[in-house]
Structure 1
Amino acid sequence: MIRATTVVRRPAVRDEKVVDEITLDHHARHRRRFAFTADGGLSFLLDLDKASVMDDGDAVKLEDGRLVRIKAAPEELVEVTTANPLRLMKVAWHLGNRHVPAEITETAVYFVDDHVLTEMVRGLGAGVAKVHRPFRPEKGAYEASEAHAGHAHGEHSHEAHHHDAHSHERHEHQDHEHHDHGEPGHVHGPGCGHDHKHG
């Protein structure tokens, strides 16, 4: 089976290189290694160095240089709207505080249908409606900066790669559970009792 080893971001996708498209939901667009069959029947093995979130309009590059374009599949989402922007910002903050993947627009916030979260949002005074549309949640800050750096420079720094790996690790555990990063209250710094060597 032919492999796809690179994600090409939307601005760099050349239409003449696209040979097929694949429609994936949000979770399926966050993969490192997986066997896929595209919408037109082309089978390939996604085999990336690390997990990467593929956006609508991105493509994966096959070993022979051909591209398979990514399409975001419509999903059952909750659309949150409010009477004013400040209240919408508060809704977004509460969702982010619970590590809920959310898509934020100027007039609404979207998240995957969940009755507990829906009731919480209603309690904040927001209006909710169930909709069926593609889900494009916000990326983490490190992930977004890496994608920008990759588009601008064609490569990633070691530091960006290190942080992005941790960002994806958190993402895999963030659905309705807390991801533990070590002993509670443990902070590295002056007086922590650890031998820190620099250089």
Structure 2
Amino acid sequence: MRPRDRLAMQQSGAVTLVERLAAADQRDLPLLQLPLDAQQRTSLRGHRRSACGRDLLLQLPRGAALQPGERLLSADGAVQVQVQAAPEPVMEVRSSSPLALLQAAYHLGNRHVAMELHADRLVLLHDSVLEDLLQQRGLQVERREAPFEPEAGAYAAVGHHGHSHTHSHGHSHDH
């Protein structure tokens, strides 16, 4: 970190978070809760607020999105922060037909819609256009406020932090 950046962080009064902690490295330190929505968990830099209102500054190395339950350590080693999935507006999609639910997942995936996959339902961020489309297909859609933890996707590093994959499509999509 550049000296100029370190000075700016010290002057801001924010707790600067610089490291992800493995379960074996967790310490008996003050623990702040950091509620983040799914999109915020993908950004590893910038100002955030803990659940109790404490100013936090993420300065984490590039890598995979933050996961609920993951712990972060402050630059001075004095504070731990635990990431939480914050409630956000979602839609739960259900059907009495497993095939109809599978078809919906296929069509949503073809549109690159982030979603949670469950045996009995799909969960995705609220979108009124998608809500109408799903209802027209005969699916039950219920709006809720709930934590959203979408599937990481085919190119995400499974179980690894600090590593990501990129890819290019060799085909086109009709959108």
Q: TM-score range by the shorter chain?
A: 0.7 to 0.9
CA drift of 1:95 comes to 0.9
CA drift of 1:24 comes to 1.4
Aligned partner (choices 95, 104, 116) of residue 91 of structure 1? 104
Aligned partner (choices 27, 49, 62) of residue 74 of structure 2? 62
For the residues of structure 2 that align with 1:165 and 1:131, how far apart are their CA atoms?
Answer: 32
Contact 1:50 1:165 in 2 (8 A): no
Unmatched 5+ residue regions in structure 2?
Answer: 1-8, 10-14
For the residues of structure 2 that align with 1:22 and 1:117, how far apart are their CA atoms?
Answer: 30
Question: What is the percentage of aligned positions where both structures have the same residue?
Answer: 29
Contact 1:30 1:54 in 2 (8 A): yes
For the residues of structure 2 that align with 1:79 and 1:5, how far apart are their CA atoms?
Answer: 35
For the residues of structure 1 that align with 2:170 and 2:119, how far apart are their CA atoms?
Answer: 39
Contact 1:7 1:58 in 2 (8 A): yes
What TM-score do the two structures reach when normalised by structure 2? 0.76
Contact 1:74 1:133 in 2 (8 A): yes
Which residue does 1:189 correspond to in 2? none
Distance 1:68 1:13, change over 3 A: farther
Q: Which amino acid letter does the alignment assign opposite residue 117 of structure 1?
A: L
Which residue does 2:65 correspond to in 1? 53
Q: How does 1:30-49 map to 2 (within 5 A)?
A: 30-49=42-61
Q: Which amino acid letter does the alignment assign opposite residue 121 of structure 1?
A: L
For the residues of structure 2 that align with 1:28 and 1:90, how far apart are their CA atoms?
Answer: 29
User: Would you say 1:135 and 2:151 are equivalent positions?
Assistant: no
For the residues of structure 1 that align with 2:80 and 2:24, how far apart are their CA atoms?
Answer: 11
Partner-residue secondary structure (3-state), 2:129: helix
User: Would you say 1:4 and 2:8 are equivalent positions?
Assistant: no
Aligned residues: 158
Quick check: which one's helix share is greater? 1
How well do the aligned residues superpose, as a CA RMSD in angstroms?
A: 2.6
Distance 1:26 1:41, change over 3 A: same
Contact 1:31 1:51 in 2 (8 A): no
Out of 70-79 and 58-67, give the one that drifted further.
Answer: 58-67
For the residues of structure 1 that align with 2:149 and 2:24, how far apart are their CA atoms?
Answer: 19
What TM-score do the two structures reach when normalised by structure 1? 0.68
Contact 1:5 1:62 in 2 (8 A): yes
User: Would you say 1:113 and 2:113 are equivalent positions?
Assistant: no
Distance 1:7 1:125, change over 3 A: farther
Unmatched 5+ residue regions in structure 1?
Answer: 151-155, 168-180, 186-199
Aligned partner (choices 25, 28, 34) of residue 16 of structure 1? 28
Distance 1:41 1:139, change over 3 A: same
Which residue does 2:117 correspond to in 1? 104
Partner-residue secondary structure (3-state), 1:46: strand
